[in-house]
Amino acid sequence: MRLYIDIDDTLIKSQYRECGVCGRRSYLEATPIQEEIDLVNKAYAKGFTIILFTGRGWDCFEITKKQVNDFGIKHHSLVMGKPDGIYIDKTNANTTLKGII
C-alpha cells in the first residue's frame, strides 16, 4: 500500500520566514516531529511505500531533501506538490498513521 504523507506540520515543524532570495517562505529553521517520524519509519519497515509530498516549490527541493534525510525519515520518493492518494496531513483529522498501521 502507498502512503502519501505531507511534510510540513505533519513530520517537520518549520519556522516560516520570508526568504531573502525568492521572496517565498523559508524552511531553513525546522525541527522533526519525532513521534510521527517514528510511525512513518515503522510503516516503511512493514513494507508500505512511503511517498513524501509537500506544497513547497521546486526552489525548496534541496533544503527539503536535506531535512528529510537529516531527520531520518525513511521514504521511497519525495514529491513537490500533492498527488492523489491517502492524505495524512494537518488538514485531514480522520486519517492518521496510528489508524493505518
Lowest mean pLDDT among 4-18, 45-59, 87-101: 87-101
Alpha helix positions (H), the chain: 34-45, 61-70, 97-100
More confident residue, 77 or 4: 77
Residue with cell 492524505: 87
In tens, the pLDDT along 40-52 reads 999 999 999 999 9
pTM: 0.75
Structural domains in the chain (count): 1
Which are the contacts of 96, defined by CB distance < 8 A and separation ≥ 6? Answer: 88
Domain that holds residue 34: 2-100
Give the pLDDT band of residue 71 (cuts 50, 70, 90): very high
CATH code of 8's domain: 3.40.50.1000
